[in-house]
Chains A and B, each alone.
Chain A
Amino acid sequence: MAELIDLVLLAMLALTALRIIFLKDLFAVVMLFGIYSFLSALIFINLDAVDVAFTEASVGAGISTVLMLGTLALTGRKEKKNSHSSLLPLLVVTVTGAALIYGTLDMPPFGDPDNPVHQHVAPRYIEESPQEIGLPNMVTSVLASYRAFDTLGEVVVVFAAAIGVLALLGIRRKKDSDLESGLKEHKVLHVIAKIVIPHVILFALYVQFHGDFGPGGGFQAGVIAAAAFILYALVFGLPNTLAVASPKFLQWMASFGVLLYAGVGLVSMIKGGQFLDYNKLAADPIAGQHYGIIIIELGVGITVFAVMLSIFYAFSSQAERSNVQ
């Protein structure tokens, strides 16, 4: 049964990819990319990788689609006619593809329990983490405690992305706010958005603090909370959203999240452990782990939320400005 579903989903994924290549209408391409992300998230679900599916659904299908749409508003929706000869690219692609397929021949068989990936560190995490950390969701234990350095790196990368986007685009505030903005005509959407947005934020908080027990965590929660604000911006217009969460405030929040994360590491060093060694945070090592994980997940969530929203502001304010002129 699971194999059948997998096959059908993979076939749909391949068809979507092919369709994307041949479509000339970039607006439709972006929508199909959203479907592509949904489909890959479904495959992750089918492989029981629930946390990954969560991230793919919220980041890949949600935020990326919105950002790509914002870009299209700036660049126009027709694909440019390619005037170059496509022979050399075809050759490069064929050679690379052949090399990649040749490389996969050396890969261990799919789903074999003797594969190196199942032998290396995974058994240790599965056997030891209930005693060492004691969280029901092992992915959170690995992500936030065993691999805390990696996760800190990821958060810093997200933060750096925000710095890059803001340095390149910047957020332009419109002085004259009487310009057409938001979906003014859609009265029904206004009412429904007011009902939906608080629940989305509530759900984001649930994902944030339930990440220890089920799928979810700081990354996903930050993205979902940002999605709520993006919905507000889409329906009620960007100036209103800028009044709710100003870009300055978001910049402070983004840095605060990274500092919170690194601060946990410093506190654990002050208490006599290694950097990000949560065992020392409380008298009981397991309680210390729980405190550490909750605090750093909060830091991750705050940073991701602020960064995603800042990037959306940057794209969206450019789009509104260029369409006014």
Chain B
Amino acid sequence: MTEVLAAACIAILVVMAIALARAFKAPTVYDRILGVNMFGTKTVLFIAAVGFLMGRPDFLDIAIVYALINFIGMVAVLRFFEYTAPAE
């Protein structure tokens, strides 16, 4: 079981890296936000899986915080994007 968990952790890490790449280089700013959001949700899964891998279920508290903050950050980005939209 540990092997599967470890493999899942690494695979989620790879997905996070891809999402990060999208956040680095994106055709539109919305794509960037999409990449950041995907990175956040995958991080939540990663923390949960790592917590089980290391036998430290305390980590789940942090996973919850990540989920909350990710959502709030997302809303904040959308809210302030209206203010700062460039005149293209």
A27 and B29 alpha carbons, distance in the complex (Å): 9
User: Quick check: is A261 within 8 A (CB to CB) of the other chain?
Assistant: no
Contact between chains at B71 and A19 (CB < 8 Å): no
Q: How large is the interface on A (under 10, 10 to 19, 20 to 34, 35 or more residues)?
A: 35 or more
Contact between chains at A8 and B36 (CB < 8 Å): no
Contact between chains at A48 and B83 (CB < 8 Å): no
Distance to closest chain A CB from B71 (angstroms):
7
A227 and B73 alpha carbons, distance in the complex (Å): 9
The residues of B that contact A76 with a CB separation of less than 8 Å are: 84
A244-277 vs B, CB cutoff 8 Å, 1 = contact: the mask equals 0000000000000000000000000000000000
Contact between chains at B36 and A35 (CB < 8 Å): yes
The residues of B that contact A160 with a CB separation of less than 8 Å are: none
Which of A61-69, A124-132, A166-174, A282-290 is found at the contact surface with chain B?
A61-69
Contact between chains at B72 and A31 (CB < 8 Å): no
Q: In the complex where A38-B43, A323-B83 touch, is A230 in contact with B64 (Cβ < 8 A)?
A: no
The residues of B that contact A77 with a CB separation of less than 8 Å are: 84, 86
User: Quick check: is A58 within 8 A (CB to CB) of the other chain?
Assistant: yes
Distance to closest chain B CB from A1 (angstroms):
6
Contact between chains at A183 and B78 (CB < 8 Å): yes
A215-237 vs B, CB cutoff 8 Å, 1 = contact: the mask equals 11000100010010011001100
B44-88 vs A, CB cutoff 8 Å, 1 = contact: the mask equals 001100100110101101101110110111011111110110100
- Contact among B6, B40, B86 with A38 in the assembled complex (CB-CB below 8 Å): B40
Interface residues of B in 2-54 (CB under 8 A from A): 6, 9-10, 13, 16-17, 20, 23-24, 29, 32-33, 36, 39-40, 43, 46-47, 50, 53-54
- Contact among B17, B32, B59 with A12 in the assembled complex (CB-CB below 8 Å): B17
A95 and B23 alpha carbons, distance in the complex (Å): 33
- Contact among B20, B32, B83 with A73 in the assembled complex (CB-CB below 8 Å): B83
A sample of 12 cross-chain residue pairs with beta-carbon separation below 8 angstroms, ordered by A number, consists of A8-B13, A12-B20, A41-B62, A45-B50, A45-B62, A46-B50, A69-B76, A215-B58, A216-B61, A231-B71, A235-B79, A319-B83
Binding site for A on B (CB under 8 A): 6, 9-10, 13, 16-17, 20, 23-24, 29, 32-33, 36, 39-40, 43, 46-47, 50, 53-54, 56, 58-59, 61-62, 64-66, 68-69, 71-73, 75-81, 83-84, 86
Binding site for B on A (CB under 8 A): 1-2, 4-5, 8-9, 12, 15-16, 19, 25, 27-28, 31-32, 34-35, 38, 41-42, 45-46, 48, 50, 53-54, 57-58, 61-62, 65-66, 69-70, 72-73, 76-78, 182-183, 186, 189, 193, 196, 200, 203, 207, 214-216, 220, 224, 227, 230-231, 234-235, 319, 323
Pairs A-B, 6 closest by C-beta atoms: A73-B83, A69-B80, A62-B69, A77-B84, A234-B79, A66-B76
Assuming A45-B59, A69-B80, A183-B75, what are 9 further A-B pairs, CB within 8 angstroms? A1-B53, A8-B17, A34-B36, A45-B50, A50-B61, A58-B69, A61-B69, A189-B75, A234-B72
